Amino acid sequence: MAWDPARDDWRTFRIDRVEGAPVNGAHFAPRPAPGGGDPGAYVSGTLAVAIQAEDARVVLHKPIDVMSPRIPPAAARLQPIDESRCLVRCPAHQLDWLVYWLMSLDVEFEVLGPPALKQRLRSAGERLARAVAASA
């Protein structure tokens, strides 16, 4: 993260897009970092997923402190519900990916919405049940 004089604001920059050789030159005026002085919190907040009009809402049956290291802010937002559960909210525009992702978490969960996600999970469950029955 750095102060961008062209925009007169703080910004985050991808290291793979930084070009040119470093140049010694004019000094800068130090200023307090955004995010309460915590650069890590600021960068995480700028990378956090933006929830769209329709988002997926899923209750995970694990506490937020267990799930937050496994779910980056760029993928979803987590909110505590109680000591043993948390709510995950994420964009619902790629439901097939979301079905796979939820299953890969290996955590009990309840889908609150959208209904299309519930249907995709139901279809995936039926397909898995047929695959298991066929191989028995």
Reported as a single tens digit per residue, the pLDDT across 37-94 is 777 777 776 665 555 557 899 999 999 999 999 998 888 999 999 999 999 999 888 8
The hierarchical CATH code for the domain 53-134 is: 3.30.70.250
Maximal C-alpha separation, the chain? 73
Half-sphere exposure of residue 135, counting CA atoms within 13 Å on the CB side?
5
99: nearest Cα among 79, 86, 116: 116
Which of 27-36, 77-86, 92-101 has the weakest average pLDDT?
Answer: 27-36
pLDDT averaged over every residue in the chain: 86
Q: What is the pTM of this model?
A: 0.63
pLDDT value at residue 43? 75
Strand pairing partners for 77?
89
Residues of each domain in the chain carrying CATH 3.30.70.250: 53-134
